[in-house]
Structure 1
Amino acid sequence: MESQTVEYKSDIPIKSNPFKAEIVAFLNTNDGTIFLGFDDDGTFIPEKIDQYKQWESWISDWIHSAFNVPVQKFVTIEVSAQNFAIHIKQGDKPPYYYKDGEGFNSKGIYIRNGSSKRRATDDEVRRMLKAQVANEFESEPSSVQKSLTFHYLQDKLLDNNIVFDSKGLRLQNIDNQYNNGALLLSEQNSRATKIAVIDGLDMSADFLAKKEFKGSLIKQIDMTLEYISLLNDRRVSFTGAAARLEHESYPSKAIREAVINAYAHRDYSLSADIKVEVYDDRIEIFSAGGLPDGLSVADIKEGISAQRNPNLVHVLDKINYIENFATGIRRILASYKDFDKEPMFIVTPNQFKVILYNRHYALVDDEKQGWVNNNLKKNLSEAEQLELGFTPQDSPLENDTMVADVKQYIDANDEKIIKILTLNGDKSRQEIQDYLQESKTKVHQRLTKLIELNLINKRGQSRAIVYFVNANERK
């Protein structure tokens, strides 16, 4: 039965372009096989055996000269007593087309669509051409040559006992010119990472902070991970035996994999920056370009991969940022296996977006009840705790009690002050007042309270006073 990967043909027609189009369709879409000498329902036609030799001769000539490029590495012929099969692998540089005169033959570009072929639309042809440019971008000569420096990359290599070698790292082409991949890894890289922290669930809410990082991609990766770590709250819980367990808002492995993947596999032929948007309930990570080589979200979840930037991946592998084993997406999914909302992967032709959900966001009400329970337990005997269903502790949980006590005295705006200072560094009272839109007296009261609770501190005198978060509150 004919399908996306199987085509039956009884013969090669005198006008052979329609048959060549069948080969082109598989080259442009997916692996497949054309069986010659069979009816459309797959029934073998014995009288066609005498034509096997002629067919083999024609097709052998075609794969060298009938298409826009030789395709012999993608097409093989299998001939036996009752079988003539043409096995076709998906090509690595579409669009492919059969020749019809001189020059580019857009009418000869076909794709596979279910159990038949169809001519590719203009948009589909453009996407194929753009993907080809994207896949070659990092190897093209850089517009900047003489002034490139690689201090940050060199330090990372030294940390891994590797000597900087521009050719070994694939930063230079055969003619000793630096390529675009080298520019991306240099201090002269002009592409940026932009991070926005939003005080709510969508862009209609206020911004808590904005950051922009430039320079070497390796440095941007490090700074992005470090900044997101400031937002990754850790909540502490205790077992019945008073064992301490820490739960992150976002699994560190998921953040690391999502961020590094955004840099490693994006389309650098597009001018868009890497973007990270942090909302109360999620983090969204945007990178330019869809999935390469026709992959789908289902494919990448199963571990199927294609490298758009093999040279960059090679460097990241050398400095142990990635394993180069196509496990990133599966690691992200595995880190959320015990959470009810699975990470999302949204793909368009020009963008790849990862959404990681805040595992603490849904626990806010439960945590509030937990603080109430902890305070109630302090006033109950062990027998009363057991009767009410509480788990008695072997020893006082001083840290847990301290957190519960602190939470009694601060509200949402107090927490915003702590978050603003954590994300932005030192801030004056006026800057905090402008954000909260509260009176000078009210903000002063809040700052004084937070200092008394040892959550923030201040330095300077008079109008030069600024407030900052205590070191132990940054995590």
Structure 2
Amino acid sequence: MSNIKALHMLKMSYTYNNAAFLVSDQNTTITKGALTSQIDELLYYINLNNYMEVKIDGDPRRHETKNYPEVAIREAVVNAFAHRDYVLHSTIKIEIFDDRMEILSLGRIPDGLTLEEVKDGMTAVRNPQLVHILDKLKYIENYGTGIRRMYEAYNGTNKLPEFEVRPNSFKVLLPNVNWRKNQVDKSDKKDNISEETVLFMLEKNGKQTRKELQQVLGTTPYHVRKLLNELIEQGKVKKTGKSVNTRYEKR
């Protein structure tokens, strides 16, 4: 009981509050399950798609750089859950493109603060009890420094995260540090891969993950996802499993 009190999970009447409900396995808000489990699974899935670029030059050691700084991803994802407006009936949306990752959370910045004020270190809390719980569970570090930590994660690169504030949402755009404009031509060539090629590889190799197909075909995440979605709509490919266990097979 003392730990529950320390996490601010109880009302004055000693019943559980809404924040306790959100981090419990009984949470039914949009997607079922504890928010902490959702955060963990989402970070794991994103990490599977956070590819490493390796460069070998005159230095005795090879240079390894992931497309997206892990600190920036964690801050953006945790903030999306901690500060979203749970009254709005929609979902947190995360999309990974060739040149960027977008994390969209429901609800604009509370308390009438502007984006510039938040960048300067001013804090606005929509869900104080939830933030307190996530802080105690070590999901939040140095509360109020999330945006600054995202910027710091991009130190040494020539790119910076961007933020869009809308009437009912807040979007974080994390640039792919390994993306270069001259890759566009290469991507255009890779995008010549057809639906028939995907079907052939599924028939040859059996069930495949999207990442496995992408590596075998040498195409982009966006293109293989587009082809698979089109084949599923046509009834030629079957999708099984969820999240990291998702597989695709020819019908």
TM-score range, shorter chain: 0.7 to 0.9
1:347 to 161, 165, 178: 165
Contact 1:313/1:324, CA 8 A, preserved across alignment = no
Query: Which is greater in Rg?
Result: 1
Q: Give how far 1:164 is off.
A: 7.3
Match of 2:28 in 1: 190
2:124 to 297, 306, 320: 306
1:140-151 matches, within 5 Å, as: none
Letter in 2 for 1:218: T
* 1:412 partnered with 2:250: no
Deviations 1:159-188 (A, max 9, x none): xxxx87322211110101221111111112
Distance 1:413 1:243 in 2: 33
Match of 2:35 in 1: 217
Contact 1:343/1:355, CA 8 A, preserved across alignment = yes
Contact 1:317/1:323, CA 8 A, preserved across alignment = yes
Deviations 1:182-209 (A, max 9, x none): 11111121224xxxxxxxxxxxxxxxxx
Distance 2:162 2:152 in 1: 13
Letter in 1 for 2:196: E
1:286–1:467 CA distance, 2 compared to 1 (3 A) = closer
Q: Give how far 1:233 is off.
A: 0.7
What percentage of residue pairs aligned between the two structures are identical?
A: 43
SS in 2 for 1:313: helix
Contact 1:181/1:312, CA 8 A, preserved across alignment = yes
Distance 1:357 1:214 in 2: 30
1:241–1:359 CA distance, 2 compared to 1 (3 A) = closer
2:8 to 170, 189, 207: 170
Q: Which runs of 5+ in 1 are unaligned?
A: 1-162, 193-212, 369-410, 417-435, 449-457, 459-464
Distance 1:248 1:359 in 2: 8
Deviations 1:319-341 (A, max 9, x none): 21112431110011122233334
Deviations 1:370-428 (A, max 9, x none): xxxxxxxxxxxxxxxxxxxxxxxxxxxxxxxxxxxxxxxxx7369x8xxxxxxxxxxxx
Deviations 1:65-87 (A, max 9, x none): xxxxxxxxxxxxxxxxxxxxxxx
Letter in 1 for 2:36: I
Q: Which runs of 5+ in 2 are unaligned?
A: 216-251
Letter in 2 for 1:329: I
Question: What RMSD, in angstroms, separates the aligned Cα atoms of the two structures?
Answer: 2.9
TM-score, normalised relative to structure 2: 0.73
1:225–1:364 CA distance, 2 compared to 1 (3 A) = farther
Deviations 1:241-262 (A, max 9, x none): 3212211111111101000011
* 1:231 partnered with 2:75: no
2:200 to 443, 448, 451: 443
Which has the bigger relative contact order, CA under 8 A and spacing at least 6? 2
1:94-133 matches, within 5 Å, as: none
Distance 1:341 1:241 in 2: 24
Match of 2:180 in 1: 362
